[in-house]
A and B are shown apart, each in its own frame.
Chain A
């Protein structure tokens, strides 16, 4: 009896894994590590800082990475630069106007050219990027690293099962395109904002 049921169980298990549903990863990091780094060339030194108020969800299927969808949200008020006066200017009316534009978002619509090697998927993410209330479609080269069963290890509770998804990408936007001082102070602050994304999403298993 035992020998006859084993192949059935194995076949059932294989079928279940092949038909696995996409996993929903929450990007509100329990360790508070998630951040987006930004940099603008400026007089004397680049204006560089981070934005740590990351939330959002990404649906990722390890068996079909190309079907990934999701949205990453950054709280505008979480932008930090080392100089507090610069920080006030950055969040003020003339620049990001954080009270009126509380969120910076990237909504992934398609993932093109997905190539997976081991647990790393490289692709071009096309999505709607919203900054200071202006939405534009952009393409971002990204890598997605799927870390199965690493959630518990990361929070020092190995008894908790779950997966991690690390999302990395770099892209550049022109500030004038998003209504950030268009045509102004271009001799002092570069028009291009470099953005670097390295964030992790968690999918704990109940």
Chain B
């Protein structure tokens, strides 16, 4: 495989990772705290008026998931530079 093709694959992967991670994080509620494995909801006991918390077992990605995704995307993009080949116009020999 040519270097430039591999570079394109890496950059496309970086873009997909970036869009996928941000999209997933936004779709799951854009939680700006740490990830949650159980989501608290508050209810009220009618007779006593006590507000109590119940937990629903559901995953909400937090800021560290977003950070890891962005770091992976940046890493893939940077890796693309290793396989970057100079543009074809620069490879042409100059006319004598």
Within 8 Å of chain A (Cβ to Cβ): is B17?
no
Bound form: Cα–Cα A164–B49 in Å: 12
Q: Which residues of B sit under 8 angstroms from A199, Cβ to Cβ?
A: 50
Q: Which residues of A sit under 8 angstroms from B94, Cβ to Cβ?
A: none
Bound form: Cα–Cα A80–B37 in Å: 11
Which residues A58-104 have CB closer than 8 A to chain B?
80, 82-84, 86
User: B52 to A153, Cβ gap below 8 A?
Assistant: no
Within 8 Å of chain B (Cβ to Cβ): is A154?
yes
User: B48 to A44, Cβ gap below 8 A?
Assistant: no
User: A166 to B53, Cβ gap below 8 A?
Assistant: no
Which residues A19-54 have CB closer than 8 A to chain B?
31, 33-35, 37, 44-45, 50
Bound form: Cα–Cα A44–B62 in Å: 11
Q: Which residues of A sit under 8 angstroms from B49, Cβ to Cβ?
A: 166
Bound form: Cα–Cα A45–B62 in Å: 11
Bound form: Cα–Cα A37–B55 in Å: 13
User: A31-B45, A44-B63, A200-B45 known; A82 and B50 CB under 8 Å?
Assistant: no
Measured between C-beta atoms, what is the minimum distance from A101 to chain B in Å?
Answer: 23
Chain A interface: which of B5-13, B28-36, B69-77, B80-88? B28-36
Q: Which residues of A sit under 8 angstroms from B1, Cβ to Cβ?
A: none
Bound form: Cα–Cα A154–B45 in Å: 9
Bound form: Cα–Cα A82–B55 in Å: 8
- Which A residue sits closest to B57, measured CB to CB? A84
Bound form: Cα–Cα A200–B49 in Å: 10
Bound form: Cα–Cα A35–B33 in Å: 23
Within 8 Å of chain B (Cβ to Cβ): is A147?
yes
Besides A84-B38, A154-B45, 10 other CB < 8 A contacts? A37-B53, A44-B32, A45-B34, A80-B38, A82-B36, A83-B36, A86-B34, A147-B48, A150-B47, A154-B48
Q: List 7 A-B contacts (CB under 8 A).
A: A33-B48, A82-B38, A83-B62, A84-B37, A150-B47, A153-B47, A199-B50
